């Protein structure tokens, strides 16, 4: 009888452990952070050396330029999205990748030159 109770408690603890792991996994990798896709959102933990107003101006300028949405599917079945800014005066191009929970315009506004697009 003691073994049945101990086994039941151990089984319940194992189930609770895996449920907890699953919840933590979902929070870290799947739950969207509030405002994570907002182009104008600044990372609150970074100062950006007082460049917030200039950053907003650059993002707004990028948003005002014409671009083409491009979609493709990755090998693991994810739908990937890109913005294509065509420059008629050049045959050069730049490919930039933003990180997890980042946005391309916010993450790359520092590398963009005013005359380049």
- Assign 3-class secondary structure to the chain: CHHHHHHHHHHHHHHHHHHHHHHHHHHHHCCCCCCCCCCCCCCCCCCHHHCHHHHHHHHHHHHHCCCEEEEEECCCCCEEEEEECCCCCCCCCCCCCCCCCCCHHHHHCCCCCCCCC
pLDDT in tens, 55-108: 788 888 888 888 888 899 989 998 888 888 888 888 887 777 776 667 777 777
pLDDT at 117 over 70: no
The more confident residue out of 40 and 24 is 24
Tokens (6 digits) for 113: 């030159």
pLDDT of residue 116: 46
Mean pLDDT, the chain, as a whole number?
A: 79
Contact (CB, 8 A) for 116 and 100: no
Domain ranges of the chain: 1-31, 36-117
pLDDT in tens, 51-68: 777 778 888 888 888 888
């Amino acid at each position: 009888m003691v073994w049945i109770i101990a086994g039941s408690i151990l089984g319940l603890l194992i189930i609770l452990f895996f449920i907890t792991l699953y919840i933590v996994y979902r929070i870290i990798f799947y739950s969207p952070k509030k405002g994570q896709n907002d182009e104008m959102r600044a990372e609150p933990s970074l100062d950006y050396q007082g460049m917030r107003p200039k950053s907003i101006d650059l993002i707004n300028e990028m948003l005002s330029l014409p671009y083409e949405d491009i979609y493709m599917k990755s090998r693991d079945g994810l739908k990937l999205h890109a913005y294509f800014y065509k420059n008629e005066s050049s045959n050069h191009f730049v490919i930039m990748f933003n990180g997890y929970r980042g946005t391309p315009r916010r993450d790359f506004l520092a590398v963009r030159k005013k005359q380049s697009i």
